[in-house]
Structure 1
Amino acid sequence: MKLSNTPSNLSELPIYRKALEIFALSQNISVYLNHDLSTLREDGSEDQNIYFSGDIVQQSVSLAPEIMNAELERHSERKYKHIASLKRLTNLLYKNSYRLERSNSNGKDFLPVLRRELKKFKKLQSSWMLTL
């Protein structure tokens, strides 16, 4: 995922590249999980975990734009709003990955991989925030 109006130096930031990796990973995990979770149960109800698989994609797709917005923002107050949003999204991704791990799918084995990447992302996030 390359944003059309992304400054060239932004794509060199490790945190930005890691955000794109997390998005791709989340998307692949979601596709894999959806195959198992989209079938109806015997009683005709749907598996509620299918919504969490969409949530991880929605949250991960927002990581890179938040980084870009924080980098481009001139006012520190607004910059910190983007940083807070980035932290919130990361925490939600963690929470939803744990929820999905309890699902009835073979794809749940990939969720620890996502959490490892999120842990790396959080470390990058800490050092990146010091540069803003």
Structure 2
Amino acid sequence: MKWLPAFFAFSTIALSSPAMAHQFLDYFPYGKADLSPKGYQTAREVAGYVQRYGPDSYRVVIAAHMDTAEGQEFSDELSARRAQSMATELVALGLDPARIEMRPYGTRALARPTAVDVREQLNRRLSVDVNF
């Protein structure tokens, strides 16, 4: 049974390594693109996470989504503005804009499927994925 100590030593090392990715979520009120106080807190959490785990080797992907209460063109525009709001705040907090990617999805990736013209809070979301 000489393999047991080596196995456990390897497991301990693997479990103690830092996280390599994390997702942060925020939700928007209907029709709004500006960050809420919670949105600013989310931005600070993202910046702190980057500084802690990899200030020199990170990638941030901001995905903004809409509900089906408005038309596709408006939804695309508003989701782009929501992504831009978060990106602007992250840059103000010191993140490199070249390491930030924005993906406005409009209504193309609903968290909770609904009929057309339905307001759904879970679909008015913004996710920030940090990868190292």
TM class, shorter-chain normalised?
A: under 0.3
Structure 2 length-normalised TM: 0.27
Rg: which structure is higher? 2
Q: Is the helix fraction higher in 1 or 2?
A: 1
Structure 1 length-normalised TM: 0.27
Task: Specify which structure has the bigger relative contact order, considering alpha-carbon pairs within 8 angstroms and separated by 6 or more residues.
Answer: 2
Q: Is the strand fraction higher in 1 or 2?
A: 2
